[in-house]
Structure 1
Amino acid sequence: MGRTLAAEVIAMTGAHKENSVRTSYDVIVIGGGAGGLNAALVLARARRSVAVVDAGEPRNAPSAHMHSFLSRDGVSPLTVLETGRAEIARYGAVRIEGRVDQVEARDEGGFVVRLDGGASLDARHVVLATGLRDQLPEIPGVRALWGGDVHFCPYCHGYEVRDQRIVVLGVHPASAGQALLLRQWSHDVVYVSHDRPLGDDERERMDARGVQVVEGSVATLLSKDGRLHAVELTDGRTVDCAGVFLFPKMSPNDSALDGLGCERDEQGWLVTDRAGRTSRPGLWAVGNVVDSRAQAVTAAGMGAAAAFALNHDLVDEEIQRDLLAHRASQDEGAVPAA
């Protein structure tokens, strides 16, 4: 480990001697969101050596509050992460600020995790919890208001604009369904077609559900003092609203696993079993990096489930190792036949 990385680890763990910093762990968790931190918490409490490599760029950082997380509803997502970091440190897990360039398999088993600063760490198992990227449409105002008055998930933010006018932008094949769903939160939902005009069947569903349809392309989102107040179309018309919902294109942050040959589905997402195992033994993936629908509470549960199964796998490996050592010692101590 380079001195820069070692110094970071010392600072984060409260260690005082550089020789107390390790570079080999039972488990390295890549990503410090709810899924990664909860996996680290369970594993550290199972007395495993754990490091969390965290770039510090959570997907929900633009949001002032998180919702639908029991006991944490309405809390800042950054506060939740700060609490989680303190909890894993209490059990001896370390958090390393950095970005992983590549994960490589070792011939003798386990993995090498290479960081962007040139340092490398060894791990018996790796948990990928790096989330996904939201690719927003290039509409002026969207990026500035993302996480404020522009949202994706109705279950996360629909309640906050209940009974007010909500505009859904037609930017994704799932946008029409998003508009129909949001009718649950407000009687005043407007679908602006943008580049996703409706077919006859979709329009009939909108009419039946009471969703207003406005044909036209969006020019910009209008705001004042950081608050949205209208959507402006290219022909000059405006639609007043309290909130905008859109369905971004999503891509998993899993390039660190390129070259490991993990199985992927037809859309290119990693395939895992219910516990988070990938097709590569010792490699796990949880949260939005494998499931775009996962909220923070879901990702946390996925992290815990992976940690339980992972620890059992480590125990099985250790039992096999101990059996081999035990049998070897028995053979060495055997009395030769007369």
Structure 2
Amino acid sequence: MELSKKNLNQRLNQIYDVIIVGGGAGGLSAGIYLQRFNLSSLIIDKGKARSFWMQELHNYLGLPPDTPGRVLLQKGKEHYASLDGDFLNAYVEEVVEEGETFAVKVKVGRVNGVDAVFRSKYLIAASGIIDNLPPLDEMRNVYDYAGYNLHVCMVCDGYEMTDKKCGFFAGSEASIEEMVFNLSWFTPYITVFTHGNFAVSPEMRQQLREHGYPLVETPIKQFLGQNHQMTGVELVDGSVIELETGLISMGSHYHNTYLQGINLEVKGSNLVTDKMCQTSHPRIFAIGDLKVGLNQVVIAAGDGALAATQIWRDIRCETGARRWEENLKVNVF
């Protein structure tokens, strides 16, 4: 059922088997598996998952390569709804452990928001990350090209940048060291931009010179292009650098603050899990970009299947085998 301010009261007294925070590919996959295991689930989604901004999914098995991420999500949501799963557009503010259940505190609605609390036995954190974009005065200018030929994931889109003039938009020297020399597998025509946000060491400058990669430290005024195809950048000094594509590597923001009250093992900004996506808390699972691993839509969908299956196994073991009551009432043996 699609929940909203109008019908929240119908579910506030229910204890779900699982609440899923995040309605991206991972969360929807988990929800579909849970419903097919005859468990009760609620997906709480703040909207605009990372995959929503992907204009084309070039590497998802079985889908036409021009499939937008939002189409994949819409199909997944329709599938979940057909299995009678509950879905709520809301922002999760906090998760509180109450013993056998979790209290999930949410804010429903951006305007005149309503506070509500839902409860579940298990929790799946699938709220993902959002990539930091170049901080320009007119951010609409960034969104015109992000997800088209201005990319945020080399694993996803390195192939699309093959032998093209590529702008690498760095958030730190560490991102240059980590990403640029790997990006050269796809294209050697790399120009590195710092947007004037950080200093570059003499050692890194020398490495870039040795590889022939120009370093541009003057801040960017705007991206140039048309019809969502970026063709270069204009710097604040008025100069223009022509490009055919770009890769942004300026870090990410992890949507996991609602878990701060629970002591979970982390590695950097990622939650540590086992092979079934179980965190250091036995009833909390983390899937997709929140966990240590590869940030890919197909991986998130697989993680959803793993987490849901392990939760079903746990609940099944606690409940035990069902008896054929009719046969127990008569001696049929």
Q: For this structure pair, what is the TM-score category when the shorter chain's length is used for normalisation?
A: 0.7 to 0.9
Does the Cα contact within 8 Å between 2:191 and 2:216 map onto a contact in 1?
no
Q: Deviations over 1:65-95 (max 9, x none)?
A: 1231111233111110111011112222121
Which residue identity does 1:94 align to in structure 2?
A: D
Query: 1: distance between equivalents of 2:302 and 2:97?
Result: 27
Q: CA RMSD in A?
A: 2.8
Structure 1 counterpart SS, 2:223: strand
Which residue identity does 2:72 align to in structure 1?
A: V
Q: Which residue of 1 aligns with 2:66?
A: 74
Detail structure 1 runs of 4+ shifted over 4 Å in the superposition: 18-22
What is the Cα deviation at residue 144 of structure 1?
Answer: 4.6
Indicate the larger mover: 218-227 or 246-255: 218-227
Q: Deviations over 1:153-205 (max 9, x none)?
A: 12323333433211112322222442222223334222235435354367447
Unmatched 5+ residue regions in structure 1? 9-17, 323-338
Indicate the larger mover: 117-126 or 54-63: 54-63
Q: Which residue of 2 aligns with 1:27?
A: 18
What is the Cα deviation at residue 112 of structure 1?
Answer: 1.6
Query: 1: distance between equivalents of 2:202 and 2:293?
Result: 26
What is the Cα deviation at residue 4 of structure 1?
Answer: 4.8
Within-5 A mapping of 1:39-118: 39-72=30-63, 73-107=65-99, 109-116=100-107, 117-118=114-115
Q: Which residue of 2 aligns with 1:331?
A: none
What is the Cα deviation at residue 106 of structure 1?
Answer: 1.7
1:239/1:292 Cα in 2 relative to 1: closer, same or farther (>3 Å)?
farther
1:228/1:114 Cα in 2 relative to 1: closer, same or farther (>3 Å)?
same
Structure 2 counterpart SS, 1:84: helix
Query: 1: distance between equivalents of 2:293 and 2:206?
Result: 27
Q: Deviations over 1:107-142 (max 9, x none)?
A: 3x0212222122222211110100013222324543
1:144/1:74 Cα in 2 relative to 1: closer, same or farther (>3 Å)?
closer
Q: Which residue of 2 aligns with 1:147?
A: 147
Unmatched 5+ residue regions in structure 2? 108-113, 323-333
Query: 1: distance between equivalents of 2:78 and 2:45?
Result: 14
Which residue identity does 1:93 align to in structure 2?
A: G
Does the Cα contact within 8 Å between 1:275 and 1:306 map onto a contact in 2?
yes
Which residue identity does 2:274 align to in structure 1?
A: D
Query: 1: distance between equivalents of 2:208 and 2:229?
Result: 31
Structure 1 counterpart SS, 2:276: coil
Does the Cα contact within 8 Å between 2:273 and 2:292 map onto a contact in 1?
no
Structure 2 counterpart SS, 1:57: coil
1:150/1:304 Cα in 2 relative to 1: closer, same or farther (>3 Å)?
same
Within-5 A mapping of 1:127-276: 127-140=124-137, 141-172=141-172, 173-194=174-195, 195=198, 197=200, 199-200=202-203, 203-204=206-207, 207-208=210-211, 211-225=212-226, 226-265=228-267, 267-276=268-277
Query: 1: distance between equivalents of 2:5 and 2:318?
Result: 30
Does the Cα contact within 8 Å between 1:218 and 1:232 map onto a contact in 2?
no
What is the Cα deviation at residue 6 of structure 1?
Answer: 5.7
Indicate the larger mover: 32-41 or 87-96: 87-96
1:230/1:25 Cα in 2 relative to 1: closer, same or farther (>3 Å)?
same
1:293/1:248 Cα in 2 relative to 1: closer, same or farther (>3 Å)?
farther
Does the Cα contact within 8 Å between 1:170 and 1:197 map onto a contact in 2?
no
Indicate the larger mover: 283-292 or 194-203: 194-203
Query: 2: distance between equivalents of 1:154 and 1:93?
Result: 34
Q: Which residue of 2 aligns with 1:12?
A: none
Does the Cα contact within 8 Å between 1:197 and 1:215 map onto a contact in 2?
no
Query: 2: distance between equivalents of 1:182 and 1:61?
Result: 24
What is the Cα deviation at residue 231 of structure 1?
Answer: 2.1
Q: Which residue of 1 aligns with 2:303?
A: 302
Count of aligned pairs between the two proteins: 306
Query: 2: distance between equivalents of 1:160 and 1:227?
Result: 13
Report the identity percentage.
24
Which residue identity does 1:171 align to in structure 2?
A: G
